[in-house]
Structure formats: C-alpha cells, structure tokens
DNA sequence: GCAAGGCATGAATCTACAT
DNA sequence: GATGTAGATTCATGCCTTG
C-alpha cells in the first residue's frame, strides 16, 4: 500500500496514482525548474574554471505547455493524496514558480504563504546585466480553501526566532556546499541541485509532527528522507533516475549507521 | 498621441490601445490584486470594520478566469507598446503574482529577475497560523527573449550597494507610512495601497535613464509620477478612479510647487 | 600551531559580433 | 533569424596550502 520509509524508483505521477486519498501529512516537492539554458554556451569564470550548469535530461521540456501538463499531473495526485490537515510545499525559482503557482491555484490548492529562502553564498551574476539570483520561493498550501486545521508549530518557530513571530522572509540558509554536498568518485557534485538539510528541516519543523508521514515526489539526493528520519517522521521518496535512487539509498544508510 | 507628463483618466486597457507600438522605455505596474466586480465589493462599516460577504455563491474558478482575462489584456497592450530596449516591472503578492507571472511568460515576456521587496514595518500575522507576510514580489522582464539591450544601471547600483553587485533580495524598504502617506480630509489613508517613493525610485534608477518615458497603467496615488518627475524622466499615468486622478494630480502639483 | 592567502564553486533563462 | 566564436564579467564561503 504505502511504502513507508522507502524510496520508490519510478515516474512520480505513475507511482502516486496507487496511493490512497487523504493519506499524506506533508508533501515537499522540488520539481524540475525547466531552466532553458542556451545551448552550447559555456560560462567560464575569470580563473578559467567552468560553471557546471543544470543540464540534465530531467529538466528539459519541449515547451511551456508540456511543462504545464507535467506540473498539473503530479500536483493533482499530490492534492488528492494530501490529508485535509496536511500541507504541501513546492519550491522553485523565477523560471518555473509562477507557472507552478498558477496551476496550484487553479487546482484549488489554497496558499498559506510564499516563503523566500534567502541564500547565503549564491553564485553571482557574471555579466552584470541583472541582479544576482539570491533566493528561491517556497509556496506553502493546504488541500483546499476550507482546510483550517493544518499543523503550524507557531510556538516552536517563535522560540527559534528569538521570541518573535517568524516572517516569510526570515529563511536565511547557506546553499549546500562543503562536506554536506555529496560527491561522486571524481569529486564532482553527485546531484546538481542538492538542497541544504537546514532548509528541509525548517519545512518539517514548521508543518509536521513526530510520526507524521512526509512525501517527497522528487527525492533526488535524499535530503528529505534524511531530515524526516532525523526528526522522527515517516517518509516516502519517489525518484525517477536510477543513479539518484542509489545515491539516496546509500546516503540514508550512511546516516542511519552513523546515528546508531 | 502620447500624453506625456499627464494623467489619463480611464480604463487602462482602452487607453493603452491608442498608444503606438514600441514607444515606452519603462513600465511599472501595480495591478489590482482582487477582482473589482460588483459581487465582490467589500462593505465597510462607518467604524471602519469590514462586513464579510457571503462568498459561497460565486464560482471561484470563474473569478480566477475573469482576473486572468483582465491581466492578459493589459499585459498584452503593455508588451506591444514597450520598446525592445525597455523593461516592464509588475508587482504583486501571493494572491495574484503567480497568475500574473504565468500570463507574462505565456505572452513571451522574458524574465530578468524576480525581485523581493522586503518590507520594514509590515503588519504582523495576528492569529499565528501562518508566517508574517513581509514581502512583495516584483517581476522584471523584457519584451521578448531576444531583447538584450535593455537599460540596467549596474555601476550605479554597485555604488549604491557598497561596491558589490546588488541581489534580488537586497530591496529592503519601509512601507509607506507617516508623512509620506497621503491622508484624506478625515485623516484616513487616501489610497489603500500607496507604495513607498523609495521602492519606485529603485525601479527607475535600476532600469531607466534621464529623459526616458515611464508608464504606470495603474497610477493610483501617483507615486510613479512623482518619482519620475524627481529623477528627470517623462511619465504617463493611467487611472480609472476619478478620485485617485484628483488625488494624484494634487500630489504632483504639490511636489512641483515645493520643488520650484 | 596559527595566520594569511590561494583556490574551488554554487538551479545561470550571458553579451557582442561575425558569418 | 540562426549559429558559432571571442570577450567581458562576479561574490561569498570554506577548505587547503604556504609561511
């Protein structure tokens, strides 16, 4: 039925179709951003090193329409399986978050906040033709407009914030670099978009309780699973790419071994 | 032809239809967040408290569609009249900005940044069920993907930012309160969504030059006109509500009188 | 051992110009 | 227009080497 505390290898839309209605407490989704980078262009730093872009096949879509169809499909399933007391978090940046947000509203998901993750140590804008991209947006929503009884750990958040109510602009975290960043056998980043543990931790501390069931339909490097495990939540991760399934499995096992 | 340095009283979509193609250097738009339909009108008691209407009758999906049609109409005109070297700024918050952003992308407008205005002195969230809303989002875009020669005053921005490249999260300004806030004869705020001068000033300093022509299709209290005048830009303002036309006209005249 | 400096690098819708 | 090549451009952070 529900494969708790496991990674499911497969297309998330297909996998989600087998999940029962109203069964998930919290969904964290970091879907493909549809970056649309120019082809055959390299970005070289002054010191001669090359910026490795997100160029994976999973981020490529033929058109806005195709991206929208994909987005609506997985969001529809997520909405269906989300409990009325649950919440969904969807993360993105200006390439995709506006499309995603409109589709969420059209499905009837009801927004609670759009939270700004202000990045520390983000990459500068090299050519000086725009502002530095220094944030990502997290849309936080309930299943529909009538859902009022969702989890929001206000007192905990206030304690974490020096006694003051936390703002949608108070999420300031480092990007994932250094020892936390998973590397492959060549020392290159093993996943192009690994998210920081602290960011996901903030999501789970905000909107879930111990024993809740957390779903990540785009598990990637497995950050959500590790954080859920650490915080005593059950979790389900879905990942399409076999190599990332293996990466995340090893990561989770390493985490458990070091913990015990 | 182009009513420079004037306020045009009328529906912005109708007014914009008479403007020639490729004629505006910078558009700043702070569109309405809610539908202005009669069935959605809010009732305000004499003591200022709000009568909450029964909303169950009207179809929520229909209202989104109505808002989307309106949004697409004015954005289409704005895109048409924007110079290939110009840029458009559209401001909003989570109620509307995702819908607006998707429609902009669908029209072919090409995003440069989504800038976060981090508010100072924003209202707290009283019931402790969400994060405090502490920001608004400004989408900054060019007419289409191929437009590269837009104005971005990088050197000025760096000087304003201590020699460092400015980030999309560096826009921290107070909300419009105190003497800057226009009041009516009863001392009540004369416009519900008056924006701070410094915010609009940052927009114009970022993406326009002296002598450029700036358009605000939702002029409201006239902040854009005042800032444009102060910075030596020409401007056009469109405003549908007669009382706000009068308010802005007086404000601009007061500004000119005090300046001279 | 400690301080200073070199070096790597991060979800990025690069720009200008020639062909 | 589309494509290819050369050019100009950037910040914070942490690890590691050097002195």
Kindly state whether A64 is in contact with chain B, defined as any CB-CB distance less than 8 angstroms: yes
Distance, angstroms, CA B228 to C1' C6? 47
A67/A69 Cα distance (integer angstroms):
5
pLDDT at B47: 61
B127/A140 Cα distance (integer angstroms):
17
With CA atoms as reference, report the closest residue to A100 among A137, A59, A132, A130.
A137
**Over pLDDT 70: what percentage of chain A?**
99
A94/B112 Cα distance (integer angstroms):
9
| Best mutation target, A64, A91, A98, to test chain B (most B CBs within 10 A) | A98
How is B202-237 classified by DSSP, letter by letter?
HHHHHH--TT-EEEETT-TT-HHHHHHHHTT-EEEE
pLDDT at residue B38 is higher than 80:
no
pLDDT at residue A155 is higher than 60:
yes
Every domain of chain B and the residues it spans? 6-40+62-259
With CA atoms as reference, report the closest residue to A33 among A126, A172, A133.
A133
pLDDT at B173: 98
CB contact under 8 Å between A168 and B128, yes or no, is no
Token couple for B178:
């105190």
Question: Considering only residues 40-59 of protein chain A, which place a Cβ less than 7 A from any atom of strand C?
Answer: 41-45, 47, 49, 51-54, 59
Interval B91-119 mean pLDDT:
97
Where does the pLDDT of residue A39 fall: very low under 50, low under 70, confident under 90, or very high at 90 and above?
A: confident
pLDDT at residue A114 is higher than 90:
yes
DSSP B132: B
SS3 B116: strand
How many Cα atoms occupy the beta-carbon half-sphere of B178 within 13 Å? 5
Q: What is A6-259's CATH number, 2.40.30.10, 3.90.1170.50, 3.40.47.10, 3.40.50.150?
A: 3.40.50.150
Q: Which residues in chain B touch residue A100, judged by CB atoms under 8 angstroms apart?
A: 98
Average pLDDT of chain A to the nearest whole number? 96
Label residue A30 left, alpha or beta by phi (over 0 means left) and psi (-120 to 50 means alpha).
Answer: beta
DSSP B22: T
Q: Is the CB of A174 under 7 A from strand C?
A: no
pLDDT at residue B55 is higher than 50:
no
pLDDT at B34: 65
Where does the pLDDT of residue B40 fall: very low under 50, low under 70, confident under 90, or very high at 90 and above?
A: low
Where does the pLDDT of residue A55 fall: very low under 50, low under 70, confident under 90, or very high at 90 and above?
A: confident
- Range with the poorest average pLDDT among A27-36, B60-69, B207-216, B223-232: B60-69
Number of neighbouring beta carbons within 10 Å of residue B236: 26
> Please, are residues B217 and B32 in contact by the beta-carbon 8 Å criterion?
no
Distance, angstroms, CA A49 to C1' C6? 14
With CA atoms as reference, report the closest residue to A157 among A192, A114, A201, A121.
A201
B152/A216 Cα distance (integer angstroms):
39
Q: Report angle CA A223, A227, A228 to the nearest 5 degrees.
A: 115
| β B234-239/A213-216 pair status | unpaired
- Gyration radius of chain A's alpha carbons: 18
Token couple for B152:
């971005």
Consecutive H or E run containing B100: helix B97-106
pLDDT at residue A40 is higher than 80:
no
Length of chain A, in residues: 260
B105/B98 Cα distance (integer angstroms):
11
pLDDT at A216: 98
- Report CA-CA distances (Å) from B162 to A121, B157, B165, B174, B206: 18, 9, 9, 20, 15
Q: Which residues in chain A touch residue B125, judged by CB atoms under 8 angstroms apart?
A: 165
CB contact under 8 Å between B154 and A100, yes or no, is no
Per-residue pLDDT tens over the stretch A72-109: 999 999 999 999 999 999 999 999 999 999 999 999 99
A129/B75 Cα distance (integer angstroms):
24
**Over pLDDT 90: what percentage of chain B?**
84
The neighbouring-strand residues paired with A89 are A28, A140
CATH of domain B6-40+62-259: 3.40.50.150
Per-residue pLDDT tens over the stretch A185-224: 989 999 999 999 999 999 999 999 999 999 999 999 999 9
φ, ψ of residue B236 in degrees (nearest 5):
-135, 135
pLDDT at residue A251 is higher than 50:
yes
Interval B5-19 mean pLDDT:
97
> Please, are residues A107 and A79 in contact by the beta-carbon 8 Å criterion?
yes
- Gyration radius of chain B's alpha carbons: 18
Per-residue pLDDT tens over the stretch A22-35: 999 999 999 999 99
DSSP B119: E
Task: Return the number of CB contacts < 8 Å for A and B.
Answer: 129
Query: Would you tell me which residues 100-119 of chain B have a C-beta closer than 8 angstroms to some C-beta of chain A?
Result: 100-106, 111-116, 118
Per-residue pLDDT tens over the stretch B219-252: 999 999 999 999 999 999 999 999 999 999 999 9
pLDDT at B52: 46
Interval B163-178 mean pLDDT:
97
pLDDT at B45: 53
């Amino acid at each position: 039925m529900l494969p708790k505390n496991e990674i499911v290898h497969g297309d998330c839309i297909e996998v989600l179709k087998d999940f029962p209605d109203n069964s998930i407490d919290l969904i964290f989704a970091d879907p493909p951003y549809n970056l649309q980078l120019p082809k055959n262009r390299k970005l070289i730093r002054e010191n001669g090193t090359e910026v490795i872009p997100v160029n994976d096949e999973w981020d490529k879509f033929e058109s806005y329409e195709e991206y929208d169809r994909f987005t609506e499909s997985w969001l529809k399933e997520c909405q269906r399986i989300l409990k009325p007391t649950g919440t969904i978090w969807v993360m993105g940046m200006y390439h995709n978050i506006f499309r995603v947000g409109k589709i969420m509203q059209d499905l009837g998901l009801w927004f609670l906040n759009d939270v700004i993750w202000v990045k520390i140590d983000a990459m500068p804008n090299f050519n000086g033709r725009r502002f530095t991209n220094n944030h990502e947006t997290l849309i936080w929503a309930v299943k529909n407009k009538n859902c009022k009884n969702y989890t929001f750990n206000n007192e905990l958040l206030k304690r974490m914030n020096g006694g003051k109510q936390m703002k949608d602009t108070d999420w300031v975290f480092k990007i994932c670099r250094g020892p936390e960043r998973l590397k492959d056998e060549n020392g290159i980043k093993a996943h192009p978009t690994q998210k920081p543990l602290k960011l996901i931790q903030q999501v789970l501390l905000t909107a879930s309780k111990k024993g809740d069931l957390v779903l990540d339909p785009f598990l990637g490097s497995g950050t959500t699973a590790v954080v859920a495990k650490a915080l005593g939540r059950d979790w389900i991760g879905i990942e399409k790419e076999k190599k990332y399934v293996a990466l995340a499995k090893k990561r989770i096992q390493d985490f458990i071994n070091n913990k015990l």
